[in-house]
Chains A and B, each alone.
Chain A
Amino acid sequence: SQTIHQWPATLVQPVGSPLSLECTVEGTSNPNLYWYRQAAGRGLQLLFYSVGIGQISSEVPQNLSASRPQDRQFILSSKKLLLSDSGFYLCAWRVGPTRDTGELFFGEGSRLTVL
């Protein structure tokens, strides 16, 4: 069966410090991978998506970057965190490549607090 894990679960970082959130998927190959950010009790904002190794698309300009060094690994990074980067970050995968509608499977989430 397919599983998705992301870590760390909780992170408290000072402004200006770097960030690295990691996500891995098991039990599937060539998935579409996504990073979303969620403000408290609100909807999800799509940050990045990837349809293959080294292929990253950004939905919004921001202080963050993403990389996909391996087929089932997706990393969210920042060189210098801002207060506005605080939030709940969710990694997700979907069967790909396909245009058909498929379920989005989410990781457990990483709560980032920037002080």
Chain B
Amino acid sequence: TQLLEQSPQFLSIQEGENLTVYCNSSSVFSSLQWYRQEPGEGPVLLVTVVTGGEVKKLKRLTFQFGDARKDSSLHITAAQPGDTGLYLCAGDSALQTGANNLFFGTGTRLTVIP
């Protein structure tokens, strides 16, 4: 099982602040996805990164895939209360197993205080 560690585990910040969430692994992934999950619901995809070093922006969210495709980061600028939720990274295991599976990180619980 591929292990994806996220840090920090919990993050509580004031509205308007910036933050970065990290997703690290010793395994190489063919691609990596970021999801956000609301309480009592399933996760919803935010972005997919495929190329080492790739940077994608989604409004105030910036996602980066590490050059070696072992890690990723999510940066939020000027956080808003609507950003509150559980952020999950997920690595595609195709390189290791040949199967089209996603292994999820340990999660980062973000709370943005108005």
Contacts and interface: CB of A to CB of B under 8 A. Distances in A.
B42 A94 contact: no
A106 B42 contact: yes
Given A44-B88, A101-B50, A101-B92, A49 B45 contact: no
Contact of A41 (B99, B102, B107): B107
Contact of B48 (A32, A101, A108): A101
B64 interface: no
Contacts of A36: 104
B92 to A, nearest CB: 6
Contacts of B105: 43
Interface residues of A, number: 31
A74 interface: no
A108 B42 contact: yes
A9 B100 CA distance: 27
A57 interface: yes
A44 to B, nearest CB: 4
Interface string B50-87: 10000000000000000000000000000000000010
A90 B48 contact: no
A34 B93 CA distance: 14
A92 B88 CA distance: 15
Given A43-B6, A59-B1, A108 B41 contact: yes
Interface of A: 32, 34, 36, 41-46, 49, 51, 57, 59-60, 90, 92, 94, 96-99, 101-109, 111
Interface of B: 1, 4, 6, 30-31, 33, 35, 40-45, 48, 50, 86, 88, 90, 92, 94, 98-107, 109
